[in-house]
Amino acid sequence: METSELLKKVRQIEIKTRGLSRNIFAGQYHSAFKGRGMAFSEVREYQFGDDIRDIDWNVTARYNKPFVKVFEEEREMTVMLLIDVSGSLDFGTHQQTKRDIVTEMAATLAFSAIQNNDKIGVIFFTNKIEKFIPPKKGKKHILYIIRELIDFQPTNTHTDMAMALKFLTNAIKKRCTAFLISDFLDIYDYDNALTIANRKHDLIALQVYDQLETELPAVGLIKMLDAETGDETWIDSSSKAVRERYHRYYQKQLMEVAQAFTKSRVDNVSINTNEDYVKALLTLFHKRNYMR
């Protein structure tokens, strides 16, 4: 992408996503993710209504009456965006590809993090770590992230989420909030990596998909290209049996992904390329607030 075109695109994304994060996500983001990092402050005597899980048993034993630990919210949080940049994200049958949606969502979350005084970092991955942007603050850092979101060109096309999650747990020592953004069309087993990452960090999965991936239209012979392997095959979409088999295959994939999220207790939401991702994210934020 030429420099002038890139700068124009960066500006467009900045205006749209910064406005969304300021006007829509301002309170929702903070309330959904605040308190995930808590620092011990002091102890005080137990009061009616205090959570018994906060009792400091050492101090209680010393003074022979109950004391509870008082925590205060850490002023800043680290937010990591784990972004799948494999070949399958270039697919899209509507006005936007899956990659376009990922770019806008990631930029919106990045601006929300900065407005909440959080650090923001990014891990671009395929079946290897393509690029690691360490977490920082500031508008210059945000614009750099948006520029990379728009113009980054991966060297590989395959996907390995387990590898990316392991990198996160090793690279970010302190507990963070991490958004894993992908279409989750990964053939490798990543269940254990999800569980381990979610134990150390607050992991949220954002799954992006396109409607054509769920239902094959009856339009005759179609050449299908696997964007990650480059394999091509012709299928007869006019055959009802072929369409049903295709649909069952995708539904099986969806079920396996949902089971992985349930097993690892990872909060998640699925977003269609022809739907409003803002509404989907707000639904997720509301759910987290309700469950807190």
Same domain, yes or no: 150 and 164: yes
Q: Is 24 a residue whose pLDDT tops 60?
A: yes
The pTM of this model reads: 0.78
Task: List pLDDT tens digits, range 152-184.
Answer: 999 988 899 999 999 999 999 988 999 999 999
Same domain, yes or no: 52 and 88: no
Q: What is the CATH number of the domain that holds 153?
A: 3.40.50.410
Q: Is 192 a residue whose pLDDT tops 70?
A: yes
Buried/exposed 142-173: b ≥16 CB within 10 Å, e otherwise: bbebbbbbbeeebeebbbbbbbbbbbbbeebe
Average of pLDDT values for 262-271?
92
Spatial distance between the Cα atoms of 177 and 21, rounded to a whole number of angstroms? 17
Percent of the chain with pLDDT over 90: 29
Same domain, yes or no: 65 and 181: no
Q: Determine the pLDDT at residue 66.
A: 92
Task: List pLDDT tens digits, range 25-34.
Answer: 666 666 677 5
Same domain, yes or no: 163 and 265: yes
Q: Determine the pLDDT at residue 38.
A: 57
Same domain, yes or no: 207 and 67: no
Task: List pLDDT tens digits, range 129-149.
Answer: 999 999 999 889 988 998 998
Give the pLDDT band (50/70/90) at residue 278: confident
Q: Nearest CA to 45 among 28, 33, 63?
A: 63
Cβ distance 111 to 22 under 8 Å?
yes
Same domain, yes or no: 93 and 165: yes
Spatial distance between the Cα atoms of 118 and 109, rounded to a whole number of angstroms? 11
Q: Determine the pLDDT at residue 132.
A: 97
**Residue position matching structure tokens 């925590």:** 71
Task: List pLDDT tens digits, range 204-243.
Answer: 999 998 877 777 777 777 776 665 666 777 877 788 887 8
Q: Nearest CA to 197 among 267, 92, 98?
A: 267
Mean of all residue pLDDT scores within the chain:
83
Q: Determine the pLDDT at residue 255.
A: 87
Same domain, yes or no: 163 and 66: no
For residue 13, what is the enclosing H or E element? Answer: helix 3-23
Average of pLDDT values for 197-204?
93
Same domain, yes or no: 89 and 226: yes
